[in-house]
Structures are given as structure tokens and as C-alpha cells.
Amino acid sequence: MTEGMYQGAAIAIGKNMEKTPEFSTIMVEGLNQLDRGSIPFIEMGEKERETQVRKIANTSFIRISLRFAKRFLYDQPEVWGRCGYDGVSGCSDSVPRKDFGMWEG
């Protein structure tokens, strides 16, 4: 997937933060927790980032982040095609998907 698809999800999450103070508080607190390592999270290597995320894996921040990331990522029609789903317009009762039945003998 492209970086723009992930940016679209991040923008949607940011807009939700603007609308809901409670959501915003959870997100800001979670981001601050990620930065509590010896160096800022953004400067950490992959293993250090993984360790830091695992430290807060059971928090509301992680649960909400995953839920909203999936929702806002898969809300984008551009993502559907990358996942093999053509969306509502990709099939109907009268016109099946072009790849329908391709695995049948």
C-alpha cells in the first residue's frame, strides 16, 4: 500500500481527535508513553520501537489506535482494490465479479 493510504487514515484519526476530547486525551497520553524511552520514539530502531509498544500493549491507546487505524484505512476505496475487494460496484447478482469461480475445476 502507498504512504498516502496510511496518511489518509492518520488524517481521519486526527479529525476524530478534534471532535472528541476524551479520544484526544487517550491518544496524547499514549503517544507520550511511547516517548518515555531513552530516546524519542521516532528515533528508535525497529526493535526498540517494538519493545516500547509492547510495554503499553494492553492500554486503551493501543486498542483504540488499532481499531481506528483499521476502520479508517479500510474506509478508503483505494485500499479495497489492494486487498482484492472491488467494493460494492465490483459485483452484483446479474454481473458476478470477473474472477468469480476462477478456482473451480
**pLDDT tens-digit profile of 48-71?**
999 999 999 999 999 998 888 888
In the prediction, which pLDDT does 52 show? 94
CA distances from 67 to 63, 70, 100 (A): 6, 5, 30
- In this model, does residue 47 exceed pLDDT 70? yes
- In this model, does residue 86 exceed pLDDT 90? no
> Cell numbers 488524517 correspond to what residue?
11
> What percent of the chain lies above the pLDDT cut of 70?
80
Residue 67 CA, chain-centre distance (Å), reads: 7
42 φ/ψ angles, rounded to the nearest 5 degrees: -65, -25
